[in-house]
Chain A
Amino acid sequence: MRFIVLRWFAGGRLFSAAVATVLACTGGFAAAATTPRYGGTLLVELHAPSLVLDPVKWKIGAPEYAASAQIASVVFDRLLTLDRFGRFQPALATEWSHDAGWRRWQFSLRSGVLFSDGSPLSTADVAGALQELLAEGSPGKAVVTAAGTHVVVQFPSAVPDLLEQLASQRYFIYRRAADGALLGTGPFFVKEFTPAPSGTTIARYRLAASEHCWAGRPFVDALDVNVGVPVLRQLFDLQLGKADVVEVSPDLVRRAAQENLRVWASAPVSLYALQVGADTASPGKGGAAQLASAKVGLGEALSLALDRATMANVLLQRQAEPAASFLPQWLSGYAFIFSSASTMGMGNNVARAKEISGPLFAGASGPAVASPTPLRLRIDAGGDLAKLIAERVAINARQAGIPVQVQPHSLTRDASSGNAASGEKTAETAGLRLVSWRYSSLSARAELDAMVATLQIDKAADEKEKSVEDAEQLYARERRLISERELIPLVVMPEYIGLGAEVRDWMPERWAEWHLADVWLDGKRTAGSSAGAQR
């Protein structure tokens, strides 16, 4: 059995606190601008209409839960974290090990950890939370048991990337109260929720600093999180000093820069892709083989028709990157191979696209695809950006002789809800669909599996084709998925965060995991507040 044992007695926040204490004791007023201060309320504005702090309810890959995950990360802790150098750092777990087959994992819990209500964290709490979260997770049917100060996770098959998964996604540790409310061990806890007044969309969560957080008290006294704030208003609020941390839409990044606002960009964390559904082929015009062939042909024509470079560099003003693969370079490590357009037929070649699409839309002479009526392109995500990309896809497709009509998000949502209710149609059978995918896992394999499962692609593959044990197999699988063109990657986009002038020590991970507990506020807003609070 191979063991990995890592010990880490001070988290990043603890270290920062120590530095702050030392600096404060030295009384170096000249260094006040760089000396962390306690106190103040950090004002955060989010576009999401509400927060869902129960990780079990999150849909993997859904962008609408990204904001919830950011706030959840200050309420709950994970067993371990990954630092910016790719090293696992202990959090609630101080030690971990696994057997030779990567099936049995054992975690030793940190002692003296308290929930926000003051009750101690137990191995049963950890086991309960993990059991809930792993029940439907990609690792398979795990059995989580509490054994003394250890928690043991047993998988039916090898899960070599469990640590990457537990350090990301929704694998937070919590205790579910009898009324369904969740308690966390994080640096903040939800103190108050103010629903949106009638006529507005903005609701407010007030999170107070937890005085007995195992990693130490956060610098700011509270987080005021306003949700449902339009992106443009967030920018105005940032300019006016009414907000400290806001989301900046990619199309507003240049504007923010022109206004001399601080904007932080993550690594690409959102993928926009085009899913070619099954009903783009007309069932009355041919057999299954012909339909499959026609669908591949349509996918190929669309892939060649799409001008990703213009999409990313002109339309999205260089705030996005053309995507040739499903997983980004920072996650997979091999995405640059797909960037060579000629290898995968991902380059913009309208003439070739027309050649392919011509017979498909020629009616009787074509094999099977589509009626003369335009293909409907549904948009999964709301917002102007998704609409803009979808419209560009439609224009590119029309240039290649493929009639495509964009279906607004509201209609898509209605249709989706209707379909979900009736259970008649799945995502796969929905014509063209603009998919917005938010990377949430630090495991490339888990991310790809989640994408495949959620988007219901690669159904024809057998278990052998799906099984991935190393990076080479993962690359082969992704390459096969790309060549099948059920899902055509378009662009990947970073997350942009606007920061107020008083925000200090904003040091998130490059995969867009914020560390709000490390942030402190400089300036008058901290004066008179709990500046004397000690960690």
Chain B
Amino acid sequence: MSFRTKLFLVFLITVLASVSLVAYGVTHYTQAAFEEMDAQRTDALVAQFQKEFAQRGDEVVHQVENIANAEITLRMALDLARPNADPSLYVHDATGAAQDHGLDFVEFVNADGTLISSAQYPARVGYKSEWVTAEKDWKDSKAFLKKEELPDGVALSLTVVRTLPVGDKNFYIIGGRRLDQNFLASLVLPAGMRTLLYRNVEPGFVPSALTDAGGEVAQADRFAPIIERIQRSSEPVVQTVNWTTNPADAETFHANGLTGRSKELLGVLLVGSSRRELVTLTTHIFEIAGAVVAAALLVGLLISLWVAARITKPVEELADGAREVAAGRWDTHIRVRGSDEIGQLAGAFNEMTLTLAEQKERLVQTERVAAWRELARRLAHELRNPLFPMQITVENLQRARQLEISSSWKFLTSPPPHCARSWRI
């Protein structure tokens, strides 16, 4: 892999990593912000519920006190306090009082706890309501949650009890408003949120006891784990329910227990928040991040190419120069780009090749001298080789003359001059 490719990849990976890191960070912090916002909305809704609850309670208190202060109620209480009073005269009075005062539940209870009239369950008249007489003072008591038995089941009621003293006895007026889907429908909810109410009337989870503002809840069985956890611990529960495989369809539910006077769990309020907005937002962020990554990839690719080319070109020129030097072209010269390390390297290379060229010239000269010397040496050698036999011959001749003919061989007494010169060579 070339240096340029490596450099290109390093750049590219760096760009990708940076963009991905930023996208992840944005997504993460957005999700966290959304979750926090969702929690705040849920808290606000629970607070709104509690406020509505308290407000409804005050309304019920007001209405029950109105019933208690009505003349017809006082007359009834006085009449029933008499011996041998006929309670059948007042069997339907609770129904009228409930209609007149806009309450769902109204009951009149005699001093001994006998139910005189019931708007919600007329058939119960004559039976004892001992929980009413067990409390000594209902004055100024606030509305409380109560399980209300009805002919067709059990309902949750926001109940208020007031007493009407008749002599030394009390006549009890019990009024209440149903806590049901209509109550849920009265809550103003932000988009994507809904509230559900579970009536905890039986042990375990009963799907039909769960209702939302629209009535029955689809796939109510999916809430069983949430309700069962609350039934076990009474602590608030937060749980996400995936309705389908699409995560956008999921909902996060914050479940809070609703308790009665004895802190018994009577109901569960579930505030559901759709995950769709978050999932849509996250998807949107991912799409943007994808587009940014793609753009960054393209731009990074081009920039990486340009940068890598810009960085590697002097190096490549150096490499080419080195290869030329290696090929013997010692006078190779490369262009110096800038004064950075690569530029200094190029300058040093040029200096090196210059030095190499000079040293080469000097070496050639030296070799040339040496060659001439060798030539001279060889020439001298070549000259000596034929002169030596000649000298031997001349000397032999001289000795011969001296011995046999002194005059005739006069010219031979000394060697010819050119022979002496050759010898000296």
Contacts and interface: CB of A to CB of B under 8 A. Distances in A.
Nearest to B122: A388
Interface in A296-347: 307, 310, 313-318
A402 interface: no
A310 B124 CA distance: 10
Contacts of B89: 254, 317
Contacts of B92: 251, 254-255, 317
A310 B122 contact: no
Interface in B113-142: 121-127
Given A254-B89, A317-B88, A406-B151, A388 B126 contact: no
A314 B123 contact: no
A392 B123 CA distance: 5
A391 B149 CA distance: 12
A391 B126 contact: no
A307 B114 CA distance: 15
B266 interface: no
Interface string A382-421: 0000011101101100000000001010000000000000
Interface string B69-107: 000000000000000000111011000000000000000
B127 A313 contact: no
Nearest to A384: B122
B91 A315 contact: yes
Nearest to A319: B88
B124 A395 contact: yes
A340 B233 CA distance: 56
B151 A391 contact: yes
B123 A395 contact: yes
Classify the interface of chain B: helix, strand, loop or mixed: loop
A171 B151 CA distance: 41
Nearest to A398: B149
Nearest to B116: A314
B125 A314 contact: yes
A314 B122 contact: no
Contacts of A310: 125-126
B121 A314 contact: no
B348 to A, nearest CB: 102
A246 B124 CA distance: 30
A351 to B, nearest CB: 16
A394 B124 CA distance: 10
Most chain B Cβ neighbours within 10 Å, of A316, A318, A395, A406: A395
Nearest to A393: B123
B151 A315 contact: no
Contacts, number: 42
A310 B152 CA distance: 22
A313 B152 CA distance: 24
Nearest to A390: B123
A307 B123 CA distance: 11
Given A251-B92, A391-B151, A315 B123 contact: yes
B123 A313 contact: no
A377 B79 CA distance: 36
Contacts of B87: 314
A410 B261 CA distance: 37
B119 to A, nearest CB: 13
Interface residues of B, number: 14
B88 A313 contact: yes
B28 to A, nearest CB: 53
Interface string A354-395: 000000000000000000000000000000000111011011
A408 B153 CA distance: 12
A151 B282 CA distance: 95
B352 to A, nearest CB: 105
B124 A314 contact: no
A391 B91 contact: no
Contacts of B125: 310, 314-315
Contact of A314 (B91, B151, B152): B91
B127 A315 contact: no
Nearest to A317: B88
Nearest to B114: A314
A391 B121 contact: yes
A388 B88 contact: no
Contacts of A389: 123
A391 B88 contact: no
A408 B89 CA distance: 27
Most chain B Cβ neighbours within 10 Å, of A251, A314, A318, A394: A314
B213 to A, nearest CB: 25
Most chain A Cβ neighbours within 10 Å, of B87, B124, B125, B151: B151
Interface in B297-330: none
Contacts of B91: 314-315, 317
A279 B125 CA distance: 30
Contacts of B88: 313-318
Contacts of A392: 123
Contacts of A315: 88, 91, 122-123, 125-126
Nearest to B91: A317
A315 B124 CA distance: 9
Nearest to A251: B92
A388 B92 CA distance: 12
A392 B124 CA distance: 7
Most chain B Cβ neighbours within 10 Å, of A254, A317, A389: A317
B129 to A, nearest CB: 13
Interface string A252-274: 00110000000000000000000
B87 to A, nearest CB: 6
B354 to A, nearest CB: 111
Contacts of B123: 315, 388-389, 391-392, 394-395
Most chain A Cβ neighbours within 10 Å, of B123, B124, B127: B123
A387 B152 CA distance: 11
Most chain A Cβ neighbours within 10 Å, of B88, B89, B122: B88
Nearest to A312: B88
Interface string A230-242: 0000000000000
A476 B74 CA distance: 52
A59 to B, nearest CB: 28
Nearest to B117: A314
Contacts of A317: 88-89, 91-92
Nearest to B87: A314
B122 A307 contact: no
A440 to B, nearest CB: 28
A314 B151 CA distance: 18
Nearest to B127: A395
Contacts of B124: 395
Contacts of B151: 387, 391, 394, 406
A201 B88 CA distance: 33
A229 B124 CA distance: 29
A275 B152 CA distance: 21
Contacts of A316: 88
A207 B126 CA distance: 46
Contacts of A255: 92
Contacts of A394: 123, 151
Nearest to B96: A255
A509 B87 CA distance: 32
B96 to A, nearest CB: 10
- Which 4 pairs between the two chains have the least Cβ-Cβ distance? A391-B123, A392-B123, A317-B88, A314-B88
10 contacts: A310-B125, A310-B126, A313-B88, A314-B126, A315-B123, A317-B89, A317-B91, A317-B92, A391-B122, A394-B123
Given A310-B125, A316-B88, 20 more contacts: A251-B92, A254-B92, A307-B126, A310-B126, A313-B88, A314-B87, A314-B91, A315-B125, A317-B89, A317-B91, A318-B88, A388-B123, A389-B123, A391-B121, A391-B122, A391-B151, A392-B123, A394-B151, A395-B123, A406-B152
Interface of A: 251, 254-255, 307, 310, 313-318, 387-389, 391-392, 394-395, 406, 408
